[in-house]
Amino acid sequence: MSSRREVAGWFAHVYATMDTEVHALVQQEVFGREAWVRGYTTPAQADLLAERLGLRPGVRLLDVGAGEGWPSLYLAKKTGCDSVLADVPAPGLRNALNRSGRDGLGDRCSFVLASGARLPFAPHTFDAVIHTDAL
């Protein structure tokens, strides 16, 4: 079995070498637009999360194991909530940071390099927590 460090290294490599042009073409075919979906959660499922969690402006959302930010960036854009993305592979969070800037979400999204096992937040910091597409 691989160590946590080896798994994190593999994910870091994948995030650092993703071919975004190919992803955009696949998503154009599947969704009819570049939806920036990078996991198994569909936009319809993310919409259901937004509804069930009551996401709206002023709500603070924590995404544990955020990777490149899908679906938390989508939820922040759609609902106006504030989103904190936490994960270990820095290249994935870097991609999410870049995407948040392109989507005009820089003032509503924050990024923390942290494992879900050791999150640096006080209790009651967040109104909602998601953990999608993560092992």
CA nearest 27: which of 15, 16, 37? 37
CB neighbour list of residue 37: distance below 8 Å, 6 or more residues apart? 27, 31, 43, 70, 71
Q: Is the pLDDT of residue 19 over 80?
A: no
Q: How far apart are CA 132 and CA 135, in angstroms?
A: 9
Q: What share of the chain is helix, strand, coil (3-state, %, to 5)?
A: 40, 15, 45
Residue pLDDT, tens place only, 23-70: 667 767 766 656 566 667 888 899 999 999 999 999 999 999 998 888
- Give the distance, in angstroms, between the CA of residue 60 and the centroid of all CA atoms in the same chain: 14
CATH class, domain 4-130, is alpha beta
Domain ranges of the chain: 4-130
Residue pLDDT, tens place only, 69-101: 889 999 999 999 999 999 988 888 998 999 899
pLDDT at site 84: 98
